[in-house]
Amino acid sequence: MLNFSISRDAGRSRNSVSAFFEAQEMLTLSIREDDMADGFAPLAFTADIEAETAAVWDKVKHHVTPMEWRLHAPLIVEINRLKREKNAAILAHNYMTPDIFHGVGDFVGDSLALAKEAAKSDAKIIVQAGVHFMAETSKVLSPEKKILIPDLLAGCSLASSITGADVRLIKERHPGVPVVTYVNTTADVKAETDICCTSANAVQVVEWAAKEWGTDKVILIPDEFLARNVARQTDVKIIAWAGHCEVHKRFTPQDIADMRAAWPGAEVLAHPECPAEILEASDFAGSTAAMNDYVAARKPAQVVLITECSMASNVQAESPGTQFIGPCNMCPHMKRITLQNIYDALVHEQYEVTVDADILDRARQAVQRMIDLPPPAAPARYDLVKARHHVDVELI
Ligand code: 13P
Ligand code: SF4
C-alpha cells in the first residue's frame, strides 16, 4: 500500500524547498518499504520465468507488448505457485484480459460454466477473476470455501439496477407469476427468485418455469434487452425490468452497417444483452460460450464479436485462422481485475466475499434449480428470432 501522508511539521519548521525534498524522501522511503511489504515491487523477469511462461506468451503475444510481458510473466509464475501452495483455484470469465485468461485461469468460460465450476471445485480458496455478482454466486454454491474478489469495486450495471426490495414489490404486483432472474444480480435479488438463468439457458428456463407454475407468464429480470430477445423465441409472455448492460447497450445498428461496408465477408456475432435491432443485424447471437463455439466450429475467415473487447482476444488464441475485427466495448468493471490484484488477493487472502446466512440458503435454491435442469441441447441462439412474430413484453 502506498503511503502518501507527508509530515505537516516539515513545511512549518524549514523553508518550503527543503521541506518539499524532505517530504519527497520520506515518501520514497515509505513507498519502498510498503512495496516490499505488499509485494508491489516488480518481480524479476528471469530466463527461467521466460521459459516457464513461453506457452502462455505464444497465446497472448498479439495482444501484449514484450514490455508488458516482462511485468506479467513473473506475476503469472508467482500466482500459479501461490495457487498450489494454498489449494486455490481461479475462475476467469471470458471477459478477462488474455494475460489472466490464458496465464492463470484454472477454469474459464461463460457465467453458467463458472457457476457450475464453483460448485464442483474442491479448492479451498476460489479467486473470482470476474465481477462481484459472480463471486457471490460462487459463495452461494460453495459456502464452505473462501471466495475472494481482487477488487471489491468490480460491479455490474445490471446487478446494481435492482434490489431484493424491488423484487418483493414486483411479486406483490404479479402474485403467482414465477420469477426468473439473470445471474447478473446480487444474492439478495437471487434470494427473492424462483430460478436463475444465464443467457445460455434463458429460453429453456423461462419455458420450464411457465410449465412448472402452470402459467403463460414469467417475470424475467433485470435485463430488458435479454428479456425482449427471449420473448421473441417463446410464446410465454414476459414481464421485464428496465435494467441494461452498459457495455452491450452502446452498440448501434450503424456500427454493424459500418463494419459490413468495410469488411463485406465478415460474420457478425452478438451477445443477447444487446438490443434486439443489433441481433437482427447480426448473423448469430448467443452467450459468450456460444460465440466461442461458433468460431471454433465454423472457423469463419473474418468475424466481428459484438461484445466486450477481451472476448475476441481470448478466442483468437485458439482460432489462429480467423481474423477478428472490431468494434468492441470495454467493461470497466471486468477491467478492474488485473494480474497484480489477483496476486495481492492470494498473498493477503483478500477481499473475502460473504453472504448473510438467511439470504444464502434462498439464493442457493434459485441457482441450484438452474444447475439441476438438464443442460440445453445447445446454448440458446437468439438470431433465430427472425422466424418468430409473437413478442409480448410488459416493462415494469
Ligand atoms: P455470459 O458469459 O453468460 O454470456 O455473460 C456475459 C456477461 O456480460 C457477464 O457479465
Ligand atoms: Fe455487467 Fe455488462 Fe460488465 Fe457483464 S459486461 S459485468 S453485464 S456491465
**Residue 344 near residue 152, CB atoms below 8 Å:** no
Tallying the residues shown for the chain, one arrives at: 396
* CA 128–ligand 1 middle distance (angstroms): 14
The whole-number pLDDT of residue 392 equals 75
What average pLDDT does this structure show over 48-52?
A: 96
Q: How far is CA 374 from CA 111, 207, 227, in A?
A: 17, 13, 21
In this predicted structure, which of 53-57, 118-122, 343-347 has the lowest mean pLDDT?
A: 118-122
**Three-state secondary structure of 37-98:** HHCCCCCCCCHHHHHHCHHHHHHHCCCCCHHHHHHHHHHHHHHHHHHHHHCEEEEEECCCCH
- Kindly give the distance from the C-alpha atom of residue 95 to the centroid of ligand 2, in angstroms, as a whole number: 9
Secondary structure (DSSP) of 316-382: HHH-TTSEEE---B--TTGGG--HHHHHHHHHHT-PBP---HHHHHHHHHHHHHHHHSPPPSS---G
Task: Look at residues 182, 169, 175 and name the one whose alpha carbon lies nearest to residue 215.
Answer: 175
For residue 73, how far is its CA from the centre of ligand 1 (angstroms)? 27
Q: How far is the centre of ligand 1, averaged over its atoms, from the C-alpha of 310 (Å)?
A: 12
Closest CA to 124 of 138, 109, 110: 138
- 3-class DSSP assignment, residue 384: helix
Contact between 213 and 365 under an 8 Å Cβ cutoff? The reply is no
Nearest residue (by CA) to ligand 1, atom 3, is 111
Cell of 312: 475476441
Inter-residue contact 282 to 295 (CB < 8 Å):
no
pLDDT exceeds 60 at position 35 = no
Asked whether 75 and 345 are in contact (CB, 8 A), the reply is no
Least confident of 8-12, 25-29, 30-34, 169-173: 8-12
Rg (CA), the chain: 23
Cα 264 to ligand 1 centre (Å): 28
* Phi/psi at 163 (5° precision): -120, 170
Where residue 25 falls (left for φ over 0; alpha for ψ -120 to 50; beta otherwise) is: alpha
CA of 184, closest atom in ligand 2: 7
Which ligand number lies closest to the CA of residue 246? 2
377: confidence class by pLDDT, cuts 50, 70, 90: confident
Residue 147 Cβ inside 6 Å of ligand 2? The answer reads no
Q: What is the pLDDT of residues 331-358, one digit of tens each?
A: 999 999 999 999 999 999 999 999 999 9
Cell matching residue 325: 475485427
Residue that wins the pLDDT comparison between 288 and 248: 248
Instruction: Return the residue whose CA atom lies nearest to atom 10 of ligand 1.
Output: 184
- 55 vs 35, residue with greater confidence: 55
CA angle at 260 for the pair 325 and 230, rounded to the nearest 5°: 85
What's the mean pLDDT when you consider all of the chain?
A: 87
Confidence of residue 87 (pLDDT cuts 50, 70, 90): very high
Candidates 209, 198, 213, 263; CA nearest to 234 is 209
pTM: 0.86
Whether ligand 1 lies within 6 angstroms of the CB of 161 is answered as no
Q: Which residues does 228 contact at the CB level (< 8 Å), separation at least 6? A: 238, 240, 275, 276, 391, 393
Q: Which residue's alpha carbon is nearest to atom 7 within ligand 2? A: 245
pLDDT in tens, 293-328: 999 999 999 999 999 999 999 998 889 899 999 888
Ligand 2 touching residue 110 (CB < 6 A)? no
Q: What is the pLDDT of residue 179?
A: 98
pLDDT in tens, 193-225: 999 999 989 999 999 999 999 999 999 999 999
| Ligand 1 touching residue 314 (CB < 6 A) | no
How far is it, in rounded angstroms, from Cα 338 to Cα 313?
16
Task: Give yes or no for residue 246 CB within 6 A of ligand 2.
Answer: yes
**Domain assignments of the chain as residue spans, ordered by start:** 8-38
Whether omega for the bond prior to residue 74 falls within 30 degrees of 0, making it cis, is no
* Cβ atoms of 31 and 2 closer than 8 Å: yes
CB atoms within 10 A of CB 222: 27
Inform me whether the pLDDT recorded for 114 exceeds 70: yes
Report which ligand 1 atom has the smallest distance to the Cα of 93.
Answer: 2
Mean pLDDT across 126-143: 95
C-alpha cell recorded at residue 4:
502518501
C-alpha 384 – ligand 2 centre gap (Å) = 24
From edge to edge, which strands make up the β-sheet containing 125-129?
A: 107-109, 88-93, 125-129, 146-148
Ligand 1 atom with the shortest distance to the CA of 288:
4
Q: Please name which ligand lies nearest the alpha carbon of 157.
A: 2
Compute the average pLDDT of residues 123-142.
95
184 lines ligand 2 (CB under 6 A): yes
Handedness of CA 202, 207, 211, 215 (dihedral sign): positive
Per-residue confidence at 386, pLDDT binned at 50, 70, 90?
Answer: low
